[in-house]
Amino acid sequence: MKKYDTKDIRNVALVSHGGAGKTSLAEAFLYDAKVTTRLGSVDEGNSSLDCEPEEMKRKITLSTALASFEWKKVKVNVLDTPGDTNFFVDTRAAMAVADGAVLVVSAPDGVQVGTEKVWQYAEELALPLAVFVSKMDRERADFDACLAGLIKTLSPHCAALQLPIGKEAGFAGVVDVLAQKAYRFTGDGREVKIEDVPADLADALKKAREALIERVAESDDALMTKYLETFELAEEEIATGLQAAIGMRKLFPVLCGAGARNLGAQPLLDLIANAFPSPATCPPMKGKDAKDADAERKPDEAEPLSAQVFKSIGADIGRLSLLRVYSGKLVADANILNSTRDAKERAGSLYVLVGKKRETIPEVAAGDLIALAKLKDTRTGDTLCDEKAPVKFPEPQVPNPVISFALKPKSKGDEDKVATKLNDILAEDPALKITRDQASKEILLSGMGQGHVEVAVEKLKRLGVEVDLLPPKVPYLESIKGRIKGVEGKHKKQTGGRGQFGVCYLDMEPNPRGTGFEFVDAIFGGAIPRQFIPSVEKGIRDRMSRGVVAGFPVVDVKVTLVDGKYHDVDSDSRSFEFAGSKGFQAAFKQCKPILLEPIMKLEITCPDENMGDIMGDINQKRGRVLGMDARGRNQVIMANVPMSECLKYAADLRSMTAGRGTFTMEQSHYDELPSNLAEKIMAEAKVAEEEE
């Protein structure tokens, strides 16, 4: 593929709710551009873009794929993004490097949960957008109802650029509202016959044309003045106004077709080439220079090189880094700087991608999307730039995971192998997080939903490591509410020869919440030799780490060593460690033991109509609503909820809001667990201890 000027590049993200036909539309693009020789199919498993084993198994997009091709002398970089909300972090990252988006909406289903979410992302990114109503050949496909839903739910600036010819199985083509011509698709969809508009669509065409030209006129005061005077615009004015209106997000043109049969893909490609913005129209990218001062890079080849990695993917030649060049030009084998990590890299070959297929190119201009292989120190979000003009762009913000599972290797001794392979997966998907619970020693894998974590586990299996998914253990803590004085801790053992002997007497009381452990040495008169007192404290701390009544760490206690006994021959450090541990256990059990549970701070975003259900659910989960706030079309609820009640909250919220709700969660503090629940956990721990 040749090098394209910045003005001749179009970066477009295909976005949708899952199953709306987005990848089928992308396959039609590739077929019409003659990049592929047959129309790829997701259902038949021969898609050029959904080619990972996990995607072929589920028949859905799980990871953004990049496909580049030429259409009408313009290079189009299409980003086929996931439609499953579990993987929307990937979708948003792709939208952030695009200059426009095509929102694919299923004609039989209309606006769905994922449709609203990606629309919101486009609003946040101020991304120009067109809508493609897909699956027009399916049962219950209703273009008029779908358009009405778009206008009502998403924006009154949605307007039909096309009208369908025929319905459901009889869908045969489209009417171009501006050109006032009919386009009928024949054969494999590549051939298009231009005809007069069918008589039965004349009235609908007139109405749609008036609505569309009105939206176009709104993009410019002069056009609006002329339109109000004449109620018509010249073709040249319409074309210029259409491009301006799309760029300013004052118009969201709605087209239609059936991607799986390649019906309607070519007119959409024409719109992308003729009316979508190029990177040359983008504002400068803002960042920081080497002295941490504000800096910016314009989308101009004369500027110093700057680029940012927006995705990493595995390939047969090693990890590929997908990046957008924001300024300058990138040349193969160039020496470049990773300013995020202050590391030098070599660009190597530049790859133009169509899914997993690669083609090398000697150089690319500002605004292009390209892939580099085998960058040593570079990760997703890193900035690459000219060594002589360093700049660092802000790294994309990744939301906190909403669900965690414990991983248990099926083969003993595979813990290290699990961590190594997971790190490879995490390099490709920054929305996944891996941690190790210090109390339970469990490996925890966290993600944006259960499906997100399950796909990662399937990838692990493909990499040679099998694990079981288990709910994570709640990290309770043990503490006390009572006081006790003079509790004996005695260790005496005679096994022949030298024995073991140590006795200590302890006072115990609670410390204020959050202050931790306090050890006080109140020994006088040499009741315990000075060299053995640290051993008593060591034994206490060891027992605290292992727990007393339920196996959880002990916190917030004050222990005073008040007296003791020793033997000139049989006493040693080990004896007093045991004595301290035994004395602590005995005192702890007499001080009204309690369990402390972690309380999570939730910020829940939901539609107005779901607020009542969510607040009722919070109360049932022993939670407490802290406040509410309006945010756009949604409400935000802040609440504190025990962690034990939140382990499956992602699924609960999805059920209550039909998938429209989202939440973030972070640990807030610890509170006392109600006694009835604490007794149950202590009883289970006791049974487990006895079984061991």
Convert the pLDDT of each residue in 289-347 to its tens digit.
Answer: 999 999 999 999 999 999 999 999 987 778 899 999 999 999 999 999 999 999 999 99
Residue 300 C-beta-side C-alpha neighbours within 13 Å: 8
Same-domain status, 668 and 542: no
- CB 175, CB 143: distance < 8 Å: no
| Cβ atoms of residues 627 and 667 within 8 Å | no
The pLDDT value recorded for residue 687 is 55
Is the confidence at residue 556, as pLDDT, over 90?
A: yes
pLDDT at 225: 86
Could you tell me if 194 and 328 lie in one domain?
A: no
Q: Total domain count for the chain?
A: 5
Examine the fold and report which residue of 566, 591, 616 is the final residue of a domain before the chain moves on.
Answer: 591
Mean pLDDT, residues 449-459: 90
C-alpha span between 132 and 311 (Å, rounded): 26
| Rounded mean pLDDT, 49-55 | 87
In a domain? residue 522:
yes
- pLDDT band at residue 425, thresholds of 50, 70 and 90? confident
Which of 259, 281, 303 is the last residue in one of the domains?
281
Dihedral of CA atoms 95, 98, 99, 103 in degrees, nearest 10, equals -50
Domain check: are 168 and 196 in the same one? yes
Q: Using an 8 Å Cβ cutoff, are 367 and 300 in contact? A: no
Place of tokens 């299996």: 461
Same domain for 377 and 451: no
Q: What is the pLDDT of residues 458-516, one digit of tens each?
A: 999 988 888 998 888 888 999 999 999 999 999 998 776 778 999 999 999 999 998 99
The verdict on residue 41 lying in a domain is: yes
Instruction: Please give the Cα distance from 586 to 541 (Å, whole number).
Output: 14
Judge if 631 and 665 occupy the same domain: yes
Q: What ranges in 154-298 are assigned the alpha helix state H?
A: 202-217, 221-230, 235-247, 265-275
**Region of poorest pLDDT, from 23-32, 227-236, 617-626:** 227-236
439 confidence band (pLDDT: 50, 70, 90): low
Give Cβ neighbours of residue 477 (< 8 Å, ≥ 6 apart). 552, 553, 554, 555, 595, 596, 670
Q: Is the pTM of this model over 0.85?
A: no
Instruction: Clarify whether residues 621 and 554 are in a common domain.
Output: no
Would you state the structure tokens that stand for residue 434, as one six-digit string? 């891996």
Q: For residue 295, what pLDDT is reported?
A: 95
**pLDDT of the residue at 191:** 85
Please give the mean pLDDT across all residues of the chain.
Answer: 91
Q: Do 150 and 272 belong together in one domain?
A: yes
CATH number at residue 430: 3.30.70.870
Same domain, 233 and 376: no
Establish how many alpha carbons lie within 13 A of residue 504's alpha carbon, considering only the half-sphere containing its beta carbon: 37
675 pLDDT tier (thresholds 50, 70, 90): very high
Q: Is 110 within a domain?
A: yes
Question: pLDDT value at position 52?
Answer: 87
Model pLDDT for residues 394-414, shown as the tens digit of each residue:
999 888 888 888 888 888 777
Structure confidence at residue 605 (pLDDT): 87
- 11 with 97: CB under 8 angstroms? yes
Same domain for 170 and 293: no
Mean pLDDT across 617-639: 90
Within this chain, do residues 429 and 383 fall inside the same structural domain, yes or no?
no
Q: Which residues contact 301 (CB under 8 A, 6 or more apart)?
A: 5, 6, 328, 329, 365, 366
Is the residue at 274 inside a domain?
Answer: yes
Q: Could you tell me if residue 399 is left (phi over 0), alpha (psi between -120 and 50 degrees) or otherwise beta?
A: beta
Long-range contacts of 272-275 (CB under 8 A, 24+ apart): 272/10, 272/12, 272/71, 272/74, 272/76, 272/100, 272/102, 272/130, 273/10, 273/71, 273/72, 273/74, 273/76, 274/72, 274/239, 274/243, 275/239, 275/242, 275/243, 275/246
- pLDDT at residue 545 above 60? yes
Residue 318 dihedral angles phi and psi, to the nearest 5°: 110, -175
At residue 80, the pLDDT reads: 97
Domain limit, last residue, from 363, 392, 421? 392
| C-alpha–C-alpha distance, residues 168 and 140, integer Å | 7
* Region 91-117 average pLDDT: 94
Pair 201, 222 in one domain: yes
Mean pLDDT for the stretch of residues 30-45: 91
- CA dist 459 to 64, 454, 597, Å? 16, 9, 34
Q: Would you state the pLDDT for residue 690?
A: 45
Give me the pLDDT at residue 595, please: 96
Would you say residue 687 lies in a domain? no
Domain of 149, CATH number, reads 3.40.50.300
- Residues 306 and 435 placed together within one structural domain of the fold: no
How large a percentage of the chain has pLDDT more than 70? Answer: 98
Mean pLDDT, residues 651-662 taken together: 86
603 has which bridge partners? 638, 664
CA 123 – CA 117 distance, rounded (Å): 10
Residue 210 has pLDDT above 70, yes or no: yes
Per the structure, the complete domain to which residue 313 belongs is given by: 285-392
Q: How far apart are CA 329 and CA 327, in angstroms?
A: 7
Kindly report the CA angle at 687 between 684 and 691, in degrees rounded to 5?
Answer: 140
Q: Is residue 683 part of a domain?
A: no
The pLDDT of residue 692: 33
